[in-house]
Structure 1
Amino acid sequence: MSTYPLNKTAVILMDPYNDFLLPGGKVYPRLEASLQSVGLLPRLHKLVASVRELKIPIFYAMHRQYREGDWKDFQNPTAMNLQIVATKTFEKGSWGAKFVEGLEPDIGAGDVVVTQHWNSSGFANTNLDLELRQHGITRVALAGLVSNTCLETTGRYAVELGYHTTMLKDCTAGFTQEQLDVAINIAYPLFAHAVLTLEEWLDEVKKAA
């Protein structure tokens, strides 16, 4: 029996925004070296194309799109919150807050765009858990950005909620190579059920097909 039955498996794709992944994006310069060394963008394109062929849904966990006044009256804003305010990262209606071309959700194919997260967890204060459970999903594979912030936090939260959790270690990038290495080699193995490359995971998934 496959570890990843197709009708119970989904991808959680974190923050495929232009501001992260494309030159001209507000956060791109901080990620550029890691994005290039990993070859992240073409790999995410392959991930999306592959799961669409297998009819596995993608649940898009997107960061809050900045609006004027966000975090203004928060008693305990984080450094990340303040950085977003200062740079207007993912500003609603801007090019930077659009999905990277080719990585957009396909609702007709079963993809789901969940409510936006304010900090790092794709689960906290969103409907991600509800949507996954209502779609019968028990096994999730995580990809996207950033390796040791949103991706790691969402993966840890998935485990706490009882999901079989796979971290796709070559489908993410970090602000530094050191942060990426620590995430995939030290942090992920501490909590995830599996830490696999995209090819390794696809090989496992195809056993169910």
Structure 2
Amino acid sequence: MEINLDHTALVITDPQNDFLSHDGVAWDLVKESVKANHTIENMEKLLKSAKQNNIQTFISPHYYFPYDQNWIFEGPVEKLMHDTKMYLRKGPLSMEGFIGSGADFLDQFKPYINNEKSIIVSPHKIYGPESNDLVLQLRKHGISKVILAGMSANLCVESHLRELIENGFEVAVVYDATAGATIDGMDGYQSALVNYKMIANDVWSTDETLEKIKKIK
């Protein structure tokens, strides 16, 4: 995949405390993978490079509101997220209690996210962007190529990859700027790597991605 300034964007999924903070409700499930990949450091490098090189950044967050807790059926990870109040906010029109909560962005990412140039799309509700406006926003900003990273590897990142590919985007996944949960002997990160290699247009390390971004200046 060849990237260019006019039509390439960085898309980050779920750069939020509940996954990436030591106090997050999912930290114990992902911490080994996060540490092994240097996921937080690599996500910050991507965000910083995108800002420095005028690459448009899109954030696809995961939020739940009180009415989402009343779903009458759910998959196992959905149930886990609801039971632990993961990403829970007071409501779509309220910022009460948001700052520093599990739904908030990791503090070190905020300078790259909380600015007028980053686009924070509406929340996805399960894993993929089918229920939010990411694809619309990418199209409306003339984006056809996506550099994809974030949390978590085999759930939201892979689901975003699949949907973006189906919608005609070229997608490169940054494999060490993500991480996955290990549950009952199942390694979400390793399972995702197989599918990245089969589905994505390219799979890059963070260092490779930074070099490619520098060359398009």
- Give the TM-score of the pair, scaled to structure 1: 0.91
- Aligned equivalent of 2:192, options 171, 174, 183: 183
Match of 2:93? none
Give the partner amino acid of 1:112.
Answer: I
Deviations 1:42-84 (A, max 9, x none): 11111111111001111100112x332314244x422222212
* 1:205 to partner: Cα distance: 2.5
Contact 2:58 2:118 in 1 (8 A): yes
State how far apart, in whole Å, the 1-side matches of 2:214 and 2:44 are. 18
Q: How many residues align?
A: 203
* Rounded Cα–Cα distance in structure 1 between residues aligned with 2:71 and 2:133: 24
1:107 is matched with which residue: 105, 115, 120?
115
Structure 1 range deviating more: 145-154 or 41-50? 41-50
More divergent stretch after superposition (186-195 vs 171-180): 171-180
Return the match for 1:72 from 70, 73, 84: 70
Asked if structure 2 preserves the Cα contact closer than 8 Å seen for 1:71 and 1:81, the reply is no
- Tell me, yes or no, if structure 1 residue 135 matches structure 2 residue 141: yes
Show the counterpart of 1:81. Answer: 78
Cα distance in 2 for partners of 1:129, 1:71 equals 26
Q: Structure 1: 5+ residue runs without aligned partners?
A: none
Match of 1:45 in 2: 44
CA drift of 1:141 comes to 0.8
Identity rate of aligned residues, in percent? 28
CA RMSD, 1 decimal: 1.6
- The answer on whether the counterparts of 2:17 and 2:104 sit within 8 Å (CA) in structure 1 is yes
Counterpart residue number, 2:102: 96
Residue 174 (str. 1) matches residue 180 (str. 2): yes
Q: Do the aligned partners of 1:71 and 1:77 also contact (CA within 8 Å) in 2?
A: no
- 3-state DSSP of counterpart to 1:96: coil
Secondary structure at the counterpart of residue 47 of structure 1: helix
CA distance in 2, matches of 1:73, 1:39: 35
Q: CA deviation at 1:199?
A: 1.3
Secondary structure at the counterpart of residue 133 of structure 1: helix
Q: Specify every segment of 5 or more residues in structure 2 that has no aligned partner in the other structure, as ranges.
A: 90-96
Q: Which secondary structure state, in structure 1, belongs to the residue aligned with residue 122 of structure 2?
A: coil
CA shift for structure 1 position 179:
2.5
Cα offset, 1:38, TM superposition: 1.1
What code does the residue aligned with 1:201 have? T
List structure 1 segments (4+ residues) > 3 angstroms apart after TM superposition.
none
Counterpart of 2:203 in structure 1 is: 195
